[in-house]
Protein backbone atom coordinates (compact mmCIF):
# COMPACT_ATOMS: atom_id res chain seq x y z
CA UNK A 1 0.00 0.00 0.00
CA UNK A 2 1.41 3.34 -1.05
CA UNK A 3 2.30 6.03 1.44
CA UNK A 4 0.51 8.67 -0.62
CA UNK A 5 -2.77 7.33 0.72
CA UNK A 6 -1.74 8.46 4.19
CA UNK A 7 -2.55 11.86 5.63
CA UNK A 8 -1.33 14.13 8.44
CA UNK A 9 -2.93 11.88 11.03
CA UNK A 10 -0.45 9.13 10.10
CA UNK A 11 2.47 10.62 12.01
CA UNK A 12 5.71 8.61 12.40
CA UNK A 13 4.89 8.26 16.12
CA UNK A 14 1.48 6.80 15.38
CA UNK A 15 2.86 4.40 12.80
CA UNK A 16 5.54 3.33 15.29
CA UNK A 17 2.95 2.67 18.04
CA UNK A 18 0.72 0.68 15.67
CA UNK A 19 3.74 -1.24 14.48
CA UNK A 20 4.56 -2.43 17.97
CA UNK A 21 0.92 -3.35 18.58
CA UNK A 22 0.77 -5.47 15.43
CA UNK A 23 4.10 -7.02 16.37
CA UNK A 24 2.42 -8.16 19.58
CA UNK A 25 -0.66 -9.36 17.71
CA UNK A 26 1.53 -11.63 15.58
CA UNK A 27 3.12 -13.09 18.72
CA UNK A 28 -0.28 -13.60 20.34
CA UNK A 29 -1.45 -15.45 17.23
CA UNK A 30 1.42 -17.89 17.74
CA UNK A 31 3.56 -16.48 14.95
CA UNK A 32 7.20 -15.51 15.01
CA UNK A 33 7.33 -11.81 14.07
CA UNK A 34 11.08 -12.12 13.55
CA UNK A 35 10.91 -14.62 10.73
CA UNK A 36 11.85 -13.17 7.39
CA UNK A 37 8.42 -13.04 5.77
CA UNK A 38 6.92 -11.17 8.70
CA UNK A 39 9.71 -8.69 9.42
CA UNK A 40 8.02 -5.75 7.70
CA UNK A 41 4.46 -6.92 8.26
CA UNK A 42 3.67 -4.82 11.37
CA UNK A 43 4.70 -1.65 9.54
CA UNK A 44 2.78 -2.63 6.40
CA UNK A 45 -0.36 -3.42 8.38
CA UNK A 46 -0.04 -0.18 10.36
CA UNK A 47 0.10 1.87 7.17
CA UNK A 48 -2.64 -0.16 5.49
CA UNK A 49 -5.02 0.34 8.43
CA UNK A 50 -4.33 4.06 8.51
CA UNK A 51 -5.04 4.27 4.79
CA UNK A 52 -8.18 2.15 5.05
CA UNK A 53 -9.56 4.42 7.79
CA UNK A 54 -8.43 7.71 6.27
CA UNK A 55 -12.07 8.74 5.80
CA UNK A 56 -12.24 9.80 9.45
CA UNK A 57 -10.10 12.79 8.58
CA UNK A 58 -11.97 13.86 5.47
CA UNK A 59 -15.04 16.05 5.22
CA UNK A 60 -17.49 14.58 2.71
CA UNK A 61 -19.83 17.56 2.95
CA UNK A 62 -16.96 19.89 2.07
CA UNK A 63 -16.22 17.79 -1.03
CA UNK A 64 -19.78 18.32 -2.31
CA UNK A 65 -19.85 22.01 -1.43
CA UNK A 66 -16.57 22.55 -3.26
CA UNK A 67 -18.26 21.54 -6.50
CA UNK A 68 -21.82 22.81 -6.03
CA UNK A 69 -23.22 24.47 -9.14
CA UNK A 70 -26.45 26.31 -9.82
CA UNK A 71 -28.45 24.39 -12.41
CA UNK A 72 -32.11 24.21 -13.37
CA UNK A 73 -32.07 20.49 -14.21
CA UNK A 74 -34.75 18.81 -12.10
CA UNK A 75 -34.70 15.21 -13.27
CA UNK A 76 -33.13 12.31 -11.48
CA UNK A 77 -29.32 12.24 -11.50
CA UNK A 78 -27.98 8.71 -11.06
CA UNK A 79 -24.47 7.55 -10.29
CA UNK A 80 -24.51 3.77 -10.27
CA UNK A 81 -21.98 0.99 -9.69
CA UNK A 82 -19.67 2.96 -7.43
CA UNK A 83 -17.18 0.35 -6.21
CA UNK A 84 -16.34 0.61 -2.54
CA UNK A 85 -14.29 -1.28 0.04
CA UNK A 86 -14.91 -0.89 3.75
CA UNK A 87 -14.18 -2.60 7.05
CA UNK A 88 -16.94 -3.90 9.31
CA UNK A 89 -16.60 -2.41 12.75
CA UNK A 90 -17.37 -5.70 14.50
CA UNK A 91 -14.53 -7.78 13.04
CA UNK A 92 -12.42 -5.24 11.15
CA UNK A 93 -12.78 -7.48 8.11
CA UNK A 94 -13.67 -6.18 4.65
CA UNK A 95 -17.10 -5.72 3.27
CA UNK A 96 -17.24 -4.49 -0.29
CA UNK A 97 -19.53 -4.04 -3.22
CA UNK A 98 -21.35 -1.32 -5.10
CA UNK A 99 -23.18 1.82 -4.12
CA UNK A 100 -25.83 3.44 -6.29
CA UNK A 101 -26.88 7.01 -5.65
CA UNK A 102 -29.69 9.11 -7.10
CA UNK A 103 -30.79 12.62 -6.35
CA UNK A 104 -33.26 15.06 -7.81
CA UNK A 105 -31.71 18.55 -7.89
CA UNK A 106 -33.48 21.53 -6.43
CA UNK A 107 -31.46 24.29 -8.05
CA UNK A 108 -28.02 22.82 -7.41
CA UNK A 109 -26.00 19.93 -8.77
CA UNK A 110 -22.55 18.62 -7.91
CA UNK A 111 -19.78 17.01 -9.93
CA UNK A 112 -20.55 13.34 -10.59
CA UNK A 113 -17.11 12.30 -9.37
CA UNK A 114 -17.86 14.04 -6.06
CA UNK A 115 -20.65 11.56 -5.34
CA UNK A 116 -18.15 8.73 -5.72
CA UNK A 117 -15.77 10.62 -3.44
CA UNK A 118 -18.46 10.80 -0.75
CA UNK A 119 -18.87 7.01 -0.93
CA UNK A 120 -15.10 6.65 -0.74
CA UNK A 121 -14.85 8.83 2.38
CA UNK A 122 -17.60 7.09 4.34
CA UNK A 123 -16.39 3.62 3.33
CA UNK A 124 -12.85 4.36 4.55
CA UNK A 125 -13.93 4.12 8.17
CA UNK A 126 -14.96 1.26 10.43
CA UNK A 127 -18.55 0.82 9.39
CA UNK A 128 -21.76 -1.10 9.39
CA UNK A 129 -23.42 -1.14 5.99
CA UNK A 130 -26.65 0.35 7.32
CA UNK A 131 -24.95 3.41 8.82
CA UNK A 132 -22.77 3.95 5.78
CA UNK A 133 -25.90 4.01 3.61
CA UNK A 134 -27.53 6.56 5.90
CA UNK A 135 -24.44 8.76 6.14
CA UNK A 136 -24.08 9.00 2.35
CA UNK A 137 -27.75 9.92 2.09
CA UNK A 138 -27.60 12.56 4.84
CA UNK A 139 -24.43 14.12 3.50
CA UNK A 140 -25.93 14.64 0.03
CA UNK A 141 -29.23 15.84 1.47
CA UNK A 142 -27.49 18.42 3.67
CA UNK A 143 -24.96 19.66 1.14
CA UNK A 144 -27.20 19.94 -1.94
CA UNK A 145 -30.68 20.21 -0.39
CA UNK A 146 -32.17 18.24 -3.32
CA UNK A 147 -35.84 17.34 -3.77
CA UNK A 148 -34.82 13.85 -2.72
CA UNK A 149 -31.90 11.48 -2.51
CA UNK A 150 -31.74 7.69 -2.51
CA UNK A 151 -28.83 5.41 -1.79
CA UNK A 152 -28.69 1.64 -2.43
CA UNK A 153 -25.69 -0.38 -1.24
CA UNK A 154 -25.02 -4.01 -2.20
CA UNK A 155 -22.16 -5.74 -0.39
CA UNK A 156 -20.45 -8.98 0.47
CA UNK A 157 -19.24 -9.27 4.05
CA UNK A 158 -16.02 -11.18 4.56
CA UNK A 159 -16.76 -11.55 8.28
CA UNK A 160 -19.72 -13.73 7.29
CA UNK A 161 -18.24 -15.45 4.25
CA UNK A 162 -14.76 -16.30 5.61
CA UNK A 163 -16.10 -17.53 8.91
CA UNK A 164 -18.77 -19.56 7.17
CA UNK A 165 -21.64 -17.93 9.05
CA UNK A 166 -23.64 -17.23 5.92
CA UNK A 167 -23.97 -18.69 2.45
CA UNK A 168 -20.77 -17.97 0.54
CA UNK A 169 -22.37 -15.72 -2.01
CA UNK A 170 -24.84 -13.84 0.16
CA UNK A 171 -25.21 -10.21 -0.82
CA UNK A 172 -26.61 -7.75 1.68
CA UNK A 173 -28.64 -4.87 0.28
CA UNK A 174 -29.47 -1.71 2.18
CA UNK A 175 -31.26 1.41 1.02
CA UNK A 176 -32.30 4.74 2.40
CA UNK A 177 -34.02 7.78 0.89
CA UNK A 178 -35.50 11.21 1.47
CA UNK A 179 -38.10 13.55 -0.04
CA UNK A 180 -39.32 12.68 -3.51
CA UNK A 181 -38.18 9.09 -3.07
CA UNK A 182 -40.92 8.55 -0.52
CA UNK A 183 -43.05 7.95 -3.60
CA UNK A 184 -42.88 4.27 -4.54
CA UNK A 185 -42.98 5.19 -8.22
CA UNK A 186 -39.84 7.33 -7.94
CA UNK A 187 -37.99 4.60 -6.06
CA UNK A 188 -39.07 2.09 -8.70
CA UNK A 189 -37.73 4.28 -11.49
CA UNK A 190 -34.35 4.39 -9.75
CA UNK A 191 -34.31 0.66 -9.03
CA UNK A 192 -35.14 -0.11 -12.68
CA UNK A 193 -32.36 2.17 -13.89
CA UNK A 194 -29.69 0.62 -11.70
CA UNK A 195 -30.66 -2.91 -12.72
CA UNK A 196 -30.08 -2.16 -16.41
ZN1 LIG B 1 -18.35 -8.17 10.81
Domain limit, last residue, from 33, 52, 71:
52
Interval between CA 122 and ligand 1 midpoint (Å): 17
Shared-domain flag, residues 28 and 74:
no
Q: If 0-12 CB within 10 Å is exposed, 13-18 middle and 19+ buried, where does residue 167 land? A: exposed
| Enzyme catalytic residues | 88-91, 129, 157, 159
Q: Which parts of the chain register pLDDT below 70?
A: 1-5, 166-167, 196
Shared-domain flag, residues 131 and 98:
yes
Query: 41-52 and 12-28 helices cross at what angle (nearest 10)?
Result: 120
Interval between CA 23 and ligand 1 midpoint (Å): 23
Q: State the DSSP H helix or E strand holding residue 152, giving kind and residue range, or none if neither.
A: strand 148-157
Shared-domain flag, residues 191 and 143:
yes
Interval between CA 127 and ligand 1 midpoint (Å): 9
Interval between CA 101 and ligand 1 midpoint (Å): 24
Shared-domain flag, residues 37 and 109:
no
Instruction: Find residue 65's DSSP bridge partners.
Output: none
Look up the domain containing 35 and give its range.
3-52
pLDDT on residue 92: 97
Shared-domain flag, residues 76 and 135:
yes
Shared-domain flag, residues 41 and 86:
no
Give the tens place of pLDDT for each residue, 139-180. 999 999 999 999 999 999 999 888 877 667 789 999 999 999
pLDDT on residue 163: 83
Residue 17's CATH number: 1.10.286.10
| Domains of the chain: total | 2
pLDDT on residue 169: 77
Closest residue by Cα to residue 125 from 173, 59, 79: 59
Residue 117's CATH number: 3.30.1130.10
- Are 133 and 61 spatial neighbours (Cβ–Cβ below 8 Å)? no
> Which residues are CB-contacts of 116 (< 8 A; sequence separation ≥ 6)?
79, 82
Domain limit, last residue, from 13, 33, 52:
52
Interval between CA 72 and ligand 1 midpoint (Å): 43
pLDDT on residue 7: 83
Amino acid sequence: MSDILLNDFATPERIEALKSSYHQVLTLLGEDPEREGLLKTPERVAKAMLALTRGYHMDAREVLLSAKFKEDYRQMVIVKDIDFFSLCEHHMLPFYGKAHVAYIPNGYITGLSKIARVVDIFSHRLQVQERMTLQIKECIQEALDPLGVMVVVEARHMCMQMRGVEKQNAITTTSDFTGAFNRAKTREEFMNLIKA
